[in-house]
Amino acid sequence: MIENETIKHQLNHRAIRAFKDQTLSEEQLTTLYEVARHTATSMFMQQFSILHITNEEKRKQIREITGQKYVGANGDLFIFVIDLYRNKQIRKQMGNDDGRLHTMDIFFQAFQDTMLAVQNVINAAESMGLGIVPLGTVNDDPKAMLKVLDLPELTYPALGLQVGVPDQEPQLKPRLPLEFTTFENEYPRDFEVSELKDYDEIVQTYYDLRDANRRIDSFTNQINGKKLNTHQNKRDDIVEAIHSQGLALDFN
C-alpha cells in the first residue's frame, strides 16, 4: 500500500469528542475555508455554505437539539448548509425564474457538494493535528434547527462539524474488511451474515470512549438493533423540513 502524509492521516482517522478549551486561529480557520472552497462541485454550481457558530446562545440551542454535550462546547462548531438560495438570487436578479432549483435532482447535487466539502475540511483539519466529529444530530429536530439558524428558503443544514484540539486519544474504530465493501463490476447478492463473525469479534474488542470506556456491541447486533428498528422520533420531520425550505419537491 502507498504511504504518504495525506494517506497516513486518513488511515489514522477517528472521531474526537473531547476538545481542549481553545478555538481555531484565524490562520487555521482560513485554511479550512479555503480547502472547502476548492472542493469539486457538481456542474460548477457551488451549492453549499458554511455557518461558523460563535454565538454562545446559538451554540447552546444547537447543543440542546443534538443532546450531545460536546456540541458547541470546546472547539469550533460549523454547520454545513445545502445552499440553493444564492443561485436563486442570481437567477432572480437576472430576470429568470427558479427553473430546476426545487427538484430532487438539484437538491441531491447540492447535498453531494456539501458532503464533499465536509470531508475535505475533515482531511485538512486532521492533517493539521486537529480533531473532528461530524454531527448528524443537528438533524435530530430539523424544524427547531431551521428556527435556531434562521435559514432562508432553499437552504438546509445538512451536517454539523465540531473541530478542535483533541483532548482524548480514542482507539481506531475497526471497519468492515474490504471484501464486503468493494466489488468489481458486479454487486454480489450472496452475502451471509455469518461471514461477519470475525469482524464482529474485532468490533467487540473495541472500546468506545463515548460510552464510558465500555466495549461496544458487535456490528451485526448494532445493525439488528435500535439504530434501524422502527421508532418514531423528530428526525422523521426531515422530509417535511426539507420540503418546507422549497427543496427536493420533485417538480419544476
Ligand X SMILES: Cc1cc2nc3c(=O)[nH]c(=O)nc-3n(C[C@H](O)[C@H](O)[C@H](O)COP(=O)(O)O)c2cc1C
Which secondary structure element, helix H or strand E, spans residue 26, and what is its range?
Answer: helix 26-37
Question: What residues pair up with 139 in beta bridges, in sequence order?
Answer: none
Shortest Å distance, C-beta 106 to ligand X: 21
User: Using the rule CB under 6 A, which residue among 37, 147, 173, 215 binds ligand X?
Assistant: 173
Shortest Å distance, C-beta 96 to ligand X: 34
List Cβ neighbours of 14 (8 Å cut-off, separation of 6 or more): 170, 171, 172, 173
Beta-sheet strands, E only, within 73-185: 76-83, 131-135, 155-164
Does the footprint of ligand X cover residue 218 (CB under 6 A)?
Answer: no
Shortest Å distance, C-beta 132 to ligand X: 9
Nearer Cβ to ligand X (221/252): 221
Does the footprint of ligand X cover residue 152 (CB under 6 A)?
Answer: no
Does the footprint of ligand X cover residue 111 (CB under 6 A)?
Answer: no
- Segment near ligand X (CB under 6 A); pick from 12-20, 191-199, 215-223, 239-247: 12-20
Q: Rounded to the nearest 5°, which phi and psi values hold at 108?
A: -60, -40
Grid cell locating 26: 484565524
Residue 132, judged by CB atoms within 10 A of its CB (0-12, 13-18, 19+), counts as buried
Does the footprint of ligand X cover residue 14 (CB under 6 A)?
Answer: yes
Residue 233: CA atoms inside 13 Å, Cβ hemisphere, count? 13
DSSP structure class, residue 74: S
- Segment near ligand X (CB under 6 A); pick from 36-44, 57-65, 106-114, 135-143: 135-143
User: Using the rule CB under 6 A, which residue among 133, 149, 242, 248 binds ligand X?
Assistant: 133
Tell me, residue by residue from 70 to 89, as one string, x for binding to ligand X by CB under 6 A and - for no binding: --------------------
Does the footprint of ligand X cover residue 137 (CB under 6 A)?
Answer: yes
- Segment near ligand X (CB under 6 A); pick from 8-16, 72-80, 96-104, 240-248: 8-16
∠ CA 4-6-7, rounded to 5°: 65
**Torsion sign across C-alpha atoms 208, 24, 140, 228:** negative
Nearer Cβ to ligand X (92/214): 214
Question: Angle formed by the axes of helices 142-149 and 56-66, to 10°?
Answer: 170
Tell me, residue by residue from 18 to 47, as one string, x for binding to ligand X by CB under 6 A and - for no binding: ------------------------------
By the criterion CB under 6 A, which residues form the site for ligand X?
A: 13-15, 17, 68, 133-137, 159, 173
